[in-house]
Amino acid sequence: MGGKLGCLLLQLPPSLAFDEVATRDFFTLMRSLTAAHIVCEPRHVTWFTEESAQTLKNAGIACVRAHPSPIAGVEPVGDPGTLYVRLHGSPEIYYSAYDEAFLEAVAARLLEARHSASEVWCIFDNTARGEAVPNALTLMAKLEEAAR
């Protein structure tokens, strides 16, 4: 893919607990194979700790900011150089559309990250009823409006 590769997403199963040695070794290997941005989507509670955050930061691995979060009220922390937001729909995951106020808040967060020189990604995964495309178009319009 060469220069077209934006980032690699590593989505972990909810059953995979954090293991510091295995995580460090795996991400060291990945870093040796690519210069692409790498984001990890952890879903087990053990990934939402200071130890895992430090391991990911040291490896240069960002964490997906999923909505809704797999662990209520907690966001994983990784390398701050990449913001990767993954929107699954709420209250009904994969089905629900996001409202204007929520998308306005997402736009503000993306712009703030972009202004701090972060690599920024936003993925809509609320596709079961076709809400992803209209939500993405609304978010794009909000970002374009803010850029003017």
- The pTM assigned to this predicted structure is 0.91
Would you say residue 76 lies in a domain? Answer: no
pLDDT, one tens digit per residue, over 54-65 is: 999 999 999 999
pLDDT band of 3, cuts 50, 70, 90: confident
Same-domain check for residues 54 and 111? no
Strand 7-11 relative to strand 82-87: parallel, antiparallel, unpaired? Answer: unpaired
Indicate the number of domains in the chain.
2
pLDDT band of 19, cuts 50, 70, 90: very high
Per mean pLDDT, which range of 3-7, 21-25, 52-56, 103-107 is the poorest? 3-7
| Radius of gyration in angstroms for the set of CA atoms belonging to the chain, rounded to a whole number | 16
pLDDT of residue 84: 96
Would you say residue 74 lies in a domain? Answer: no
pLDDT of residue 135: 98
Would you say residue 71 lies in a domain? Answer: no
pLDDT band of 1, cuts 50, 70, 90: low
Instruction: Please report, for residues 18, 23, 56, 85, 148, the alpha-carbon distance to residue 50 in angstroms, rounded to integers and kept in the order given.
Output: 11, 14, 10, 20, 39
How much of the chain exceeds pLDDT 70, in percent? Answer: 99
Torsion of CA 87, 90, 96, 100, to 10 degrees: -80
Instruction: Please report, for residues 1, 2, 12, 48, 117, the alpha-carbon distance to residue 64 in angstroms, rounded to integers and kept in the order given.
Output: 22, 23, 11, 12, 17
Whether the Cβ atoms of residue 89 and residue 56 lie closer than 8 Å to each other = no
pLDDT of residue 147: 83
Same-domain check for residues 94 and 131? yes
Q: Which domain covers residue 104, as residue numbers?
A: 81-148
- Give the residue-averaged pLDDT of 44-52: 95
Same-domain check for residues 147 and 87? yes
